[in-house]
Amino acid sequence: MGNAADSALERSGKGLALPGLIIGLLTGLAVYGIVEYWIDGRDDNPLAVTVLFFVVTMSAAYLLMAEAGAFIKALGGAIIVAVLLAWPDYFMAGIAANETNNLSEFPTLAWFLVSRGLAGYLLVTLIKASLESGAPPSYRHVFFHGVTLPLIAAGAKLFALLAVVLLFTWARLLKELDVSFFNEFFQKPWFLLPFMGAIGGLSIALMRGQQSVLGALRFVLLLLCRMLMVITAVFTITLLIVIALKGVVLVFDRPYPSVWMMVLALYGMLIFNGVYQNGEGGPPPLWLRLATLITLVGFPVYVWLAFYAFWIRIEDYGLTPPRIAGLAVNGLIAAYAVVCVAGLMTELNWRGKKWMPLVGPLNTMMAGIWIIVAIALATPLVNPWEMSAKSQYERVAEERTNIEDFDFGYMRFKLGKYGDRMLEKMLTLNDHPEIEAIRAGVKRARSAKSYWEYQNPGILPARIERPESESQN
């Protein structure tokens, strides 16, 4: 990288093996205690689940941010990360624990499988960069840790997985030799959870110490981005020409057009940042510079096509939790399109010493916005079930849908108490020309015992035959 600050970044993570092992072991013991003595075989305790996630998150964030000789400074940042994720954890854990709430699983799965990890990654990146360069964080530090942290996490998971596989392979081998003690011993929760915690903590520390390996992986990733940028530019030109000749119907005739447009935009966003890198250097070679500019031109097109596809679906079928999440993501992509336009505007000064100087600080700001949106979508502040229920009610109340085609069952079995509330409100639409059909639809939804039964009226579920001996008792 060239200067003293960059050299300091390269040397980060040394001397963390023993602290990583100890912190991981203590985390595993804490997890065992929560699981064994608090949750106690139940998975319906939102507070216990939240504390469990809090402990694991704080430990992982601390190990990713700590530096030898400066262990205390990272503790505050780790606590901030865990606290900010605790509220949505508690809200979503409460939703998941109640099996009778009749709510769509999409928001809960989206949070725990995607949004939580993304928010945590961005939080650790920004806080770690701030600890090193001050607030607001330098984009050089943000970019460095933004690229490096996923590599550390992936490598640590690989190390931990290999350790667990080797442990059980050894135990299995001994069992084949009629020594079954270790095979049973290793499966005890009081051993397995602390062991996995210790291995996880040690793996993070060891991976952070492999700076030469991480540097090589960063180099390969950034080189790959440069190669893919040319391919992306050719694809962008081809797509724009095809749309100009055949119209947007070509896109909307395919299934899930909004999803595909967002995927293209997100892919382009990652490739562009890989080419832009830390924003410290001058413009790249002419061929790469032109390819990047062509790719950036496609961003507003992808955003507009995705929004138009969403508008068509919402106009026809109203809001649902997946569509709310999709709109939020597309809104973030639209905001990033503004970043791209800002970068394109700076290209008017073609001979500038720095390439697209506005992109770096705007990237840092966008990371903060992504965190806010991801967390808000998993809290009561933006309740996707309630928003969807109100949207569906408005379609009926404003006579924007055919009542015969309206899905009253979705209101009851996918939008829970919010849907039930709106169903009750529909019964008061006495001036509606199809009020009798509305009442019949609400009655049918309330009489059904499941969404499957609502969707398949008149079809009885397959009867489960009991064994003859059991039926005679």
Q: What is the pLDDT of residues 204-221, one digit of tens each?
A: 988 888 888 899 999 999
Report pLDDT for 139.
Answer: 92
Report pLDDT for 11.
Answer: 54
The domain ranges of the chain are 12-209, 214-382, 386-455
Contact 124, 61 (CB under 8 A): yes
Please count the CA atoms within 13 angstroms of the CA of 322 that sit on its side-chain side. 10
Question: Sign of torsion, CA 419 330 377 97?
Answer: positive
Give, to the nearest 10 degrees, the angle between helix 116-133 and helix 139-176.
130
Count the Cβ atoms, other than its own, within 10 Å of residue 53: 20
Whether omega before 88 lies within 30 degrees of 0, making that bond cis, reads no
Q: For residues 380-385, give the mean pLDDT.
A: 92
Q: What is the pLDDT of the chain when averaged over all its residues? A: 87
Q: For residues 399-405, give the mean pLDDT.
A: 89
Nearest to 200 by CA among 153, 239, 132, 237: 153
Report pLDDT for 231.
Answer: 94
The CA-based diameter of the chain, rounded to the nearest angstrom, is: 91
For residue 260, the Cα-to-chain-centroid distance in whole angstroms is 17
Q: Tens digit of pLDDT for each residue in 343-359?
A: 889 888 888 888 999 99
Q: Tens digit of pLDDT for each residue in 34-72?
A: 988 887 655 568 899 999 999 999 999 999 998 876 678
Please count the CA atoms within 13 angstroms of the CA of 330 that sit on its side-chain side. 24
Q: Partners of 70 in the beta sheet? A: 67
Q: What is the DSSP letter of 126?
A: H
pLDDT at 460 > cutoff 60 = no
Ranking 48-57, 304-313, 320-329 by mean pLDDT, the lowest is 304-313
Report pLDDT for 5.
Answer: 47
Q: For residues 256-278, give the mean pLDDT.
A: 91
pLDDT at 244 > cutoff 90 = no
pLDDT at 473 > cutoff 50 = no
Helix (H) or strand (E) holding 298: helix 286-317
- The secondary structure of 157-211 as a DSSP string is HHHHHHHHHHHHHHHHHHHHTT--HHHHHTT-HHHHHHHHHHHHHHHHHHHHH-H
Report pLDDT for 37.
Answer: 85
2 or 211: whose pLDDT is higher? 211
